[in-house]
Amino acid sequence: QVTGYLDDCTCDVETIDAFNNYKLFPRLNKLLESDYFRYYKVNLNKPCPFWNDSSHCGKRDCAVKPCPSNEVPDGIRAGSYKYSEEANNLAEECEEAERLGAVDGSLSEETQAAVVRWTRHDDSSDSFCEADDIHSPDAEYVDLLLNPERYTGYKGPDAWKVWNSIYEENCFKPQSVKRPLAPGRGESFIHLAKSLGNLCVEKRAFYRLISGLHASINVHLSARYLLQDTWSEKKWGPNVTEFQQRFDEVLTRGEGPRRLKNLYFLYLIELRALSKALPFFERPGFQLYTGNKIHDAEIKTLLLEILHLAKSFPLHFDEKSFFAGNKKEAAKLKEEFRLHFKNISRIMDCVGCFKCRLWGKLQTQGLGTALKILFSENLIEKIPESGPSYGFQLTRQEIVALFNAFGRLVSDSSFSSVLYMLY
């Protein structure tokens, strides 16, 4: 079983496991079962922007079952913030918008289109993800509890092509490494991982985040494997052989434990982001609105309990080690970091299995939101206790993705421990 300290950190696996399994796991599971966090709006029909491929996985378990509109709580569908302090100023803001809207009539169509592009650019300038347009006719609500992440049978050249693109084209890596991933048993990962010592801490971290995300997906597929498939019954459970092939130290030539440590590194990054986001969620005017006032208040209380617990973790990752050198070079590297990750989020539209695409999009948006939080510390510190937080904002999509993505990692820690015990 993987143990010991993580690279570039002061934290060890044992501390994370104890904190996760006994304190965080039960609380976060309860939160993710609530209406606010179980419904996620996603467009699974966007074309792949990188290569022409309209093929999709034909297996039954690759399919995603969208929610009928009447099953999604009214408050979520309406996008209302009825209980927030911001709503008190809504009428004034609408009047202001109408006055500003009247000016638009005097603008040429070309100028109006430019304004729309500027607005989109401003909205995306701090984003690490290519977010779906939730107002698109193709965007649908999905109940995450009814569409769990598990093994679907999606594998082979199509799946390898996606990971090839992620690792080879979008990861910072030593120039000497030309093809870090190829179809087969995956030994080519080893040469890349051993070359990471030559990279700066930011580039090492980027690679380890992607490797950790990959490991997280593989842990889930191993823990929730299709063991029996008949017309009368499907049986899902842990597949130790699958887990060994991906993570056993001998079978992977020492690479498996490193992959799992990268998963723990990803856990630390997202845990740190949750602790940093506390001031945003702690404002009295912020509510997790579904339309059920009593339940919404209870869920916010649970959310704040989890965030305070995250803040109490004794060995947080120190993100101040990122982009700490020459300001000009640091800014350039930070932007490169952001654009690399944004590209990876776009690759998720190339995944042929719809259920894999759903969870890939959610987890990349969740990690992207975590990075947005970590790199917006100055803005978060300036958030007023009441009123709108214009400098820093999170959409409902980002919030749902952030906590569900972290929920995958919280489960992974428990799953990997169980799978090791079954060896």
Catalytic residues: 353, 356
d(CA 77, CA 294): 19
d(CA 278, CA 384): 13
Give the residue among 280, 230, 273, 249 at the shortest CA–CA distance from 388. 280
Binding positions for FAD: 150, 152, 163, 211, 214, 246
d(CA 211, CA 227): 26
d(CA 224, CA 222): 6
Q: Where are the alpha helices (DSSP H) in 105-200?
A: 109-124, 157-164, 170, 188-194
DSSP label at residue 351: -
d(CA 10, CA 413): 19
∠ Cα 29 30 33 (to 5°): 90
d(CA 423, CA 243): 9
Output the 3-class SS for 375-416. Answer: CCHHHHHCCCCCCCCCCCCCCHHHHHHHHHHHHHHHHHHHHH
Decide if 138 contacts 43 (C-beta within 8 A). Answer: yes
Decide if 31 contacts 37 (C-beta within 8 A). Answer: yes
Binding positions: 150, 152, 163, 211, 214, 246
DSSP label at residue 313: -
Kind of pairing between the strands at 139-143 and 39-43 = antiparallel
